[in-house]
């Protein structure tokens, strides 16, 4: 009986569940590049190129070990442009009676996948994705009966379950979380390590030409493509981070600086999310750097928390609450996303820097996403659907299972506090403290009213004033509201007027 093993573009792992009992002599592996997946949002050209090139290299590696691969390229004239269409064609082509696939990462794909059984001419078996350390069922069990699902408690449970950074049943160093030590701005005399990416080979260059010809109208630059597209190269970049970046990652993980897009970050999230790396192997290598080589605990714990805690947690939230989660809009936000999110043309230097970097690199680190582009979208009341589309489109590591909870819940607080205990709203003071963006900006971060006042400042107070009915009762925001209450009527009116002036310029 011919079995077709269907591998999606974010499942590039030889040990993925759909391939675990592969019979090279009897089975075919199906891989397809389809138009639907490149255009359901206008993905950054570098993101498209990364995935297509990594898929082609993965297929070649399978063929090198004797696996029969049926690979459909994007420019194949017979390509139907969809997963369903290409699977049906492949079933007919091979006379397959059975299809085996690993569950997808996105809810919309799973809806299509669950309709395949019988409709594509063969039976379809959907297997669990065991690349994660917490399955969807295990997360649902943990969440059962809890009104709010705080990441910190989930993270502690995962530490206990895996034994990572544990000592005699207790957290290494006596604390679960060293986040308070990881909030330093970058000093002038500290230079991040130079980043050497991977030089594109002939196959990648062919992909870049294809992407340039088809997607040059998408947001983002294709020049300077240095992403890893093989497992070996991804592992080399991980080793580079552990040797040169991990030591100072903790101290400066929240820092931002002009001309320093990468700082001490690992830049491996795209490879983790498409399957070239597995979370456990990353965690083991980082923990070994602490136990064997003396890497600082605050850096190691902070990095491990992002993968073992946050990444697993947001995936659990996504599958637990979809599809209704994407429709929530706690603040009734409906303002169009400003055009400069797509052009990068704004006089606010922090936004110009973050968006410009995103255009060039298909990358920005978590604080740039949360406290610059994200915070501004929150403060102006941008439509969550438009904001979610932007984040999904512009970053190379963005897949909806990880992007949506981060953007919708953490950045926009659109879920009403299910994921986060309070909105991450802030004035320009936070950006000034954590970066050098405010230097040489047209706007004065120390001012709240007037034409040259930093727009974040008045918008921050307007946001608090506008949503006080739902936020005043939040004990974590009590001090902020006491400050707002001390403003006299004239001061309050002037601040709100400045905020409205800013909003008028966005139309």
pLDDT, tens only, 408-449: 999 999 999 999 889 999 999 999 999 999 999 999 999 999
The last residue of one of the domains, among 127, 153, 184, is 127
**In percent, how much of the chain has pLDDT > 90?**
95
Q: How does pLDDT run across 313-324, given as a tens digit for each residue?
A: 999 999 999 999
- Decide: 305 and 175 in contact? Cβ < 8 Å: no
Residue 50: predicted pLDDT: 98
Q: Are residues 37 and 105 located together in one domain of the fold?
A: yes
Backbone φ, ψ for residue 319 (5° rounding)? -75, -25
With a cut of 50, list the residues of the chain below it in pLDDT.
none
* CA–CA dist 366, 4 (Å, integer): 39
The answer to whether residue 224 sits within a structural domain is no
- Decide: 127 and 102 in contact? Cβ < 8 Å: yes
Among the listed residues 82, 78, 103, the one whose alpha carbon sits nearest the alpha carbon of residue 16: 103
Q: Are residues 402 and 424 located together in one domain of the fold?
A: yes
Q: Are residues 109 and 142 located together in one domain of the fold?
A: no
Dihedral sign (CA 144, 146, 148, 149): negative
- Give the residue numbers spanning the domain of 165: 136-193+245-316
* CA–CA dist 362, 74 (Å, integer): 22
For residue 8, give the CATH number of its domain. 3.40.50.620
Q: How does pLDDT run across 55-98, given as a tens digit for each residue?
A: 999 999 999 999 999 999 999 999 999 999 999 999 999 999 99
Residue 507: predicted pLDDT: 66
Consecutive H or E run containing 433: helix 428-434
Number of domains comprising the chain: 3
Q: How does pLDDT run across 488-502, given as a tens digit for each residue?
A: 999 999 999 999 999
Residue 83: predicted pLDDT: 97
Token look-up 């809810």 returns 107
Q: Are residues 150 and 284 located together in one domain of the fold?
A: yes
For residue 142, give the CATH number of its domain. 1.25.40.80
Q: Are residues 355 and 501 located together in one domain of the fold?
A: yes
Residue 147: predicted pLDDT: 79
pTM, full prediction:
0.96
- Decide: 3 and 27 in contact? Cβ < 8 Å: yes
């Amino acid at each position: 009986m011919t079995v077709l093993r269907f591998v999606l573009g974010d499942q590039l792992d030889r040990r993925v569940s759909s391939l675990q009992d592969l019979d090279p002599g009897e089975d075919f592996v199906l891989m397809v590049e389809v138009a639907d997946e490149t255009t359901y949002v206008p993905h950054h050209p570098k993101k498209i190129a990364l995935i297509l090139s990594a898929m082609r290299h993965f297929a070649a590696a399978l063929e090198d070990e004797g696996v029969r691969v049926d690979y459909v390229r994007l420019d194949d004239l017979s390509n139907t442009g969809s997963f369903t269409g290409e699977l049906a064609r492949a079933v007919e082509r091979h006379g397959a009676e059975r299809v085996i696939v690993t569950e997808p990462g996105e809810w919309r794909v799973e809806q299509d996948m669950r309709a395949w059984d019988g409709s594509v001419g063969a039976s379809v078996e959907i297997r669990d994705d065991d690349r994660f350390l917490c399955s969807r069922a295990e997360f649902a069990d943990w969440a059962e009966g809890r009104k709010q699902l705080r990441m910190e408690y989930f993270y502690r449970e995962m530490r206990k379950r895996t034994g990572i950074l544990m000592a005699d049943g207790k957290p290494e160093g006596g604390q679960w979380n060293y986040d308070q030590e990881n909030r330093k701005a970058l000093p002038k005399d500290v230079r991040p390590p130079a980043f050497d990416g991977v030089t594109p080979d002939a196959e990648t260059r062919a992909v870049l030409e294809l992407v340039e010809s088809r997607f040059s109208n998408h947001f983002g630059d294709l020049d300077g493509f240095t992403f890893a597209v093989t497992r070996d190269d991804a592992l080399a970049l991980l080793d580079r981070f552990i040797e040169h970046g991990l030591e100072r990652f903790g101290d400066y993980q929240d820092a931002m600086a002009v001309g320093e897009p990468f700082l001490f970050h690992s830049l491996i999230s795209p490879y983790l999310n498409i399957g070239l790396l597995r979370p456990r192997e990353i965690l083991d290598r980082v923990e070994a750097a602490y136990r064997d080589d003396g890497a600082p605990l605050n850096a190691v714990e902070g990095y491990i928390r992002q993968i073992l805690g946050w990444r697993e947690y947001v995936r659990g939230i996504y599958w637990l609450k979809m599809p209704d989660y994407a429709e929530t809009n706690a603040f009734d936000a409906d303002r169009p996303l400003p055009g400069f999110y797509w052009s990068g043309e704004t006089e606010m230097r922090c936004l110009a820097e973050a968006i410009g970097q995103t255009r060039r690199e298909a990358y920005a680190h978590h604080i740039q996403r949360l406290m610059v582009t994200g915070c501004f979208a929150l403060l102006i009341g941008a439509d969550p659907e438009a904001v979610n589309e932007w984040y999904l489109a512009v970053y190379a590591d963005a897949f909806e299972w990880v992007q949506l909870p981060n953007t919708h819940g953490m950045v926009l607080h659109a879920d009403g506090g299910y994921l986060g205990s309070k909105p991450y709203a802030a004035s320009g003071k936070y950006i000034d403290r954590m970066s050098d963006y405010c230097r040489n900006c047209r706007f004065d971060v120390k001012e709240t009213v007037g034409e040259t006042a930093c727009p974040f400042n008045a918008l921050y107070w307007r946001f608090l004033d506008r949503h006080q009915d739902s936020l005043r009762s939040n004990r974590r925001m009590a001090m902020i509201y006491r400050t707002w209450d001390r403003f006299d009527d004239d001061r309050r009116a002037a601040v709100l007027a400045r905020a409205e002036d800013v909003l008028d310029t966005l139309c």
